[in-house]
């Protein structure tokens, strides 16, 4: 596993808006899996949660996000958007 954090840019499904996450300690397999599925941020977050890959939301959040997307980010990253 690599201890150097890597940035993952993932899109909301069927939308052009992206979310930038910082991922820690992921394996080469994790990296390849996440890169293949970066077209769906929710799938990526579910994978990292299930496989204990530490991750955080990188600020600032894209200003082009819709209110629905911002609400979903608040659910996926409650600590990041609480401030």
The per-residue pLDDT for range 47-72, each reduced to its tens digit, is 999 999 999 998 778 889 999 999 99
Domain residue spans of the chain: 6-76
Spatial distance between the Cα atoms of 59 and 21, rounded to a whole number of angstroms:
9
Tell me what the mean pLDDT of segment 22-51 comes to: 93
Q: Which residues contact 68 (CB under 8 A, 6 or more apart)?
A: none
Banded model confidence at residue 80, pLDDT cuts 50, 70, 90: low
Residue 82 has what pLDDT? 56
Banded model confidence at residue 26, pLDDT cuts 50, 70, 90: confident
Spatial distance between the Cα atoms of 37 and 66, rounded to a whole number of angstroms:
21
Residue 4 has what pLDDT? 77
Cβ–Cβ under 8 Å, residues 21 and 57: yes
Residue 1 has what pLDDT? 52
């Amino acid at each position: 596993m690599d201890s150097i954090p890597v940035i993952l840019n993932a899109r909301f499904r069927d939308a052009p808006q992206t979310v930038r996450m910082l991922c820690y300690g992921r394996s080469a397999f994790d990296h390849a899996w996440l890169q293949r599925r970066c077209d769906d941020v929710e799938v990526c977050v579910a994978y990292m949660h299930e496989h204990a890959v530490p991750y955080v939301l990188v600020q600032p959040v894209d200003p082009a996000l819709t209110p629905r997307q911002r609400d979903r980010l608040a659910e996926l990253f409650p600590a990041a958007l609480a401030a």
